[in-house]
Chains A and B, each alone.
Chain A
Amino acid sequence: MSSVPVHSATWPTASEWFFLAPVLLLACWGLLVLLLDVLAFRRRVSPTQRAKLLNSISLAGAFAALGLSVLLLSPGWLSTDVLAANEAIFNGTISLDAASALLQVVVIGFLVLVISFSNTWRFTESLSEYYALLFWSAVGMVLLIEAEEFMTLFVALETMTISMYLLTALETRARRSAEAALKYFIYGSVASALFLFGLSWIYGLTGTTNLEAVGRSLAEPGLAAGIGGQWTAGSALLLVLAGFGFKVALVPFHQWAPDVYEGAPAPVAGWIAAGSKFASFIALIKVLILALGSWSSPPGQPESPGWIAILAVLAVVSMTYGNLAALGQQNFKRLLAYSSIAHTGYLLVGVVAIGVSTQRAGATAAVLYYLCLYGLATLGTFAVAAWLARDLGSDQIEDLNGLGYRSPLLAFCLSILLLSLIGIPPLAGFFGKMAMFMEALNTGPSGKISLTWLVAIALVNNVISAFYYVRILKAMYLRAAAGSGRASGASLPSGVAWTLMLAAVANLGLGLYPSAFFAPLEGVAISLVTPHGPDGTDRGPRFAAPGSPPRDRHEPEQARIVAASPAASPHH
C-alpha cells in the first residue's frame, strides 16, 4: 500500500491527560465503589447503612469530578487557556475547547443531582453496580460531547447506552423494569447498527473518520451537490439521522421512550431524559455541522433535500405527536416521556436554526441554553417521581392530588418547572424557546420566509402542551388528596428537595436574567461548531505533513510512537 501517506502519532502529553482528568476520575470511581462494596460493605454493614455509605461515597466522587471540571475552566491549569483554545487533542480524537470544557461541567452537574436523589427509596439491592453504571454512563456522555472523530463518537455512544440498558433493568422487583430494559436494548442496538452502517458509508465516501476531514471532503465538488443526486450519500445521511433519532427519542424512532421512562426507576429515567438527550444532541450538532455541513441543503434553498428539510419535517411530526399523545396519559412518568418527545421536536427547530441562521453562535447558544434548562427541569420533575414512588409505590398523576396544601414549597417549585416547560414568559423555558425560534427565522435576506411555517407550528404546539402540564397543576392545587392513608409529603428526602429547589431557582433566575448565562454561552458556543483549522494543518500530529516534525505545542519529552513512517522511524 504505497499510497499511504507518511503518518505519525504522538503520545498524549500531561496537559492532554489532565483535560480528561474528570472523566478518568469518574471511570476509576466506578471501580472503587464496586470494590469497596464487595470487600467492605456487603457482609459487614446493615443494608440501610450500606445504602447510605455507597450513596455518600458516590456523591463524593461526583463532586470531586465536578470540582476538577470547574478547575479546568480557569486559566493556568493546562498549557493552553481552555476558554480561548480551539484544538484537538489525543491525536485529533478529542476536542479541547471552551464548549467541551463547559458542557462537561454541565453533564457532571446532572450526575451529581441524579446521585443525590438516588437514595430516595431502595429499588434495588445491586447498589454498587447502580452507582458504577451511573459513573460509566457519565464517562460515555462526556466523551460523546468531546469526540472529534467517528470511532471515538461511536464507542462513547455505546458506552453511554449500554450502561443505560442495565440501569433501566435495575428495579429488580418490578416486571416493567426488565421489560423496559429489553425494549430499550432492542431498539437501541438496532439504532446503533443503522448508525454504524451510515458511518461505514461516510468512511467509504471520504476515506477518513475525522469529523472535520469528512466535512472538508464532502465539500469537494463531486460530493457537495447535496444528497439529492447521490443515493449513497442520501442513505448514509438517513442512517446516521435514524441512529441519532433513536437516542434523542425523535418520532418515528420514539417507540422505546414511553415504556422506558415508565419502567425505569425514576432517577434512571431522569438521567436518560436529561443526560443522554443532552449528550446525544450535542454530538448530533457536531456531526451535522462539522462533518455533514455540505449536505444541509443546496445553496440558497433551505427547503430542498438535505438534512435541514428532513429535520424540519421530523421536528413538526415529533412535536405534534408528543404533545397530542401526552394529553391522554395518566402516569406521571409516561406523560414526561411524551413531553420529552415533544421537546426533542422543539430542540430540532433549534438545530435547524443552527443550519440556517446567519448568526451561528447565537443559534448554537440558544440550543445549549435550552438543553441545560430542559435537563434541569426534567431532573426536578423526575425527582418528584422518585419521591412519589417512595411514599406511594406508584407514579400516577392523581398521586399528586392536594400536594399544594400538603407541601406548598415543593408544589411551588414543581409548578415553576412545569410552567417553564410550557414556556410561560418570566421563566427560562420561554426565553430558550424564543431564542431558538427567532434564530430559525434569522435566515438573512435570501430565505426570510422559508421557515416561518416551522416556527408557527412550534408555537401552536406550545399551546397544546399547556393543556397537559396544567392538568398536573390542577391535581396539585384544585383537588383534595384521595385519603390521608395515601397522602405523601410527610418527610421530604433532602436529595429530592435540593434537586427540585436548584432546578426551580435556575429556571426562575435564568428566566429573569437570561443574559447572565446566555452571554457567556454565546461566547463559548461558537467553538463547538467551528472547525479547528481551515485545512487541518494545525490539528496536531495526526495531520502533520509528510516529513515535517510533529507540531510541538507540548515539549518533546513526549514519547513518540511512529507508525508507518520510514522517514522518521529509527528502524529504517
Chain B
Amino acid sequence: MMSHDIPLNWYLVLAAGLFMIGLFGVMTRRNPIALLMSIELMLNASNLNLLAFWRLGTPHPGEGPLSGVVFVALVIGVAAAEVAVGIALILVCYRIWKSADVDRYDTMLG
C-alpha cells in the first residue's frame, strides 16, 4: 500500500471513538431527537470502519472489488429509512404527551 496513506489503525480508533460517543449518548440522553442523533453516530462509525477496511484492508480471494462501498451505500439508505420512521414516531408521541422526554412516555410499567 501507499506509504503516505493515513494508517488503518487511525481510522479504526476514530470509528471506535465515534461509536462509543454514540453509545454513551444513547445511554444518557433522554430527548428522543438526541437519541436519534446518537444512533446515527453509531451507524456512521460502522460506515467509517467498513470504508477503511475496504480501502486499506486485505480483500478475501474471490471477493469483488466493491463490497465495502456497496455495504456503506446500503447502510446509508437503511439509516435514512430509520430516521424517517423515527421522526414520525417521535412526532406522534410528542403530540400525545406534549413533551420531548422519553421518560415521560410511561403508560406501561417498566
Contact = CB atoms under 8 A, between A and B. Distances in A.
B89 A208 contact: no
Nearest to B63: A208
A193 B108 contact: no
Given A151-B71, A193-B22, A196-B75, A1 B105 contact: no
Interface string A152-172: 001100100010011001000
Contact of A201 (B49, B68, B90): B49
Interface string B79-104: 00110011011101100100000100
Interface stretch (A209-217, A303-311, A365-373, A517-525): A209-217
Interface in B64-83: 64-68, 70-71, 74-75, 78, 81-82
Contacts of B88: 166
B57 A193 contact: no
B59 A207 contact: yes
Contacts of B81: 158, 162
A210 B49 contact: no
| Chain B contact patch, size range | 35 or more
Interface in A113-156: 150-151, 154-155
Given A182-B89, A182-B90, A194-B42, A189 B58 contact: no
Contacts of A194: 42
Interface residues of A, number: 55
B7 to A, nearest CB: 14
Interface string B23-39: 10010000010011001
B110 to A, nearest CB: 7
A1 B99 CA distance: 53
Contact of B96 (A151, A175, A200): A175
Contact of A262 (B67, B92, B108): B108
Contacts of B59: 3-5, 207-208
Nearest to A564: B65
A110 interface: no
Contact of A210 (B39, B63, B89): B63
Contacts of A258: 108, 110
Contact of B107 (A151, A176, A203): A176
B89 A197 contact: no
A199 interface: yes
B18 to A, nearest CB: 10
Interface string A201-241: 10110111110010001000000000000000000000000
A190 B86 CA distance: 12
Contacts of A204: 12, 49, 52-53, 57
B67 to A, nearest CB: 5
A508 B65 CA distance: 53
Contacts of B53: 200, 203-204, 207
Contact of A208 (B50, B60, B86, B106): B60
Contact of B64 (A7, A162, A179, A180): A7
Contact of A255 (B67, B89, B110): B110
Contacts of B22: 193
B8 to A, nearest CB: 9
B108 A563 contact: no
Interface string A540-572: 001101000000000000000001100000000
A255 B27 CA distance: 14
Given A158-B81, A543-B62, A199 B70 contact: no
Contacts of A176: 107-108
Given A182-B105, A193-B43, A200-B46, A213 B62 contact: yes
A199 B46 CA distance: 8
A192 B40 CA distance: 11
B46 A151 contact: no
B62 A5 contact: yes
Contacts of B45: 197
B108 A203 contact: no
Contact of B63 (A181, A185, A207, A563): A207
Given A185-B85, A208-B60, A155 B74 contact: yes
A197 B93 contact: no
A208 B42 contact: no
Contact of B61 (A5, A9, A199): A5
A322 interface: no
Given A158-B81, A178-B96, A196 B46 contact: yes
A478 to B, nearest CB: 27
Given A201-B49, A543-B62, A563-B65, A190 B26 contact: yes
A166 B110 contact: no
Nearest to B86: A185
Interface string A1-31: 1011101010000000000000000000000
Interface of A: 1, 3-5, 7, 9, 150-151, 154-155, 158, 162, 165-166, 169, 175-176, 178-183, 185-186, 189-190, 192-194, 196-197, 199-201, 203-204, 206-210, 213, 217, 255, 258-259, 262-263, 536, 542-543, 545, 563-564
Given A151-B67, A255-B110, 6 more contacts: A155-B78, A181-B89, A185-B86, A197-B49, A204-B12, A545-B62
When A and B form their complex, which 3 residue pairs have the shortest distance between CB atoms, in order from nearest? A208-B60, A193-B42, A200-B49
20 contacts: A7-B65, A154-B74, A155-B74, A165-B85, A165-B89, A169-B92, A182-B90, A182-B105, A186-B32, A186-B102, A192-B43, A193-B22, A204-B57, A206-B60, A207-B57, A208-B63, A208-B67, A210-B60, A258-B110, A564-B64
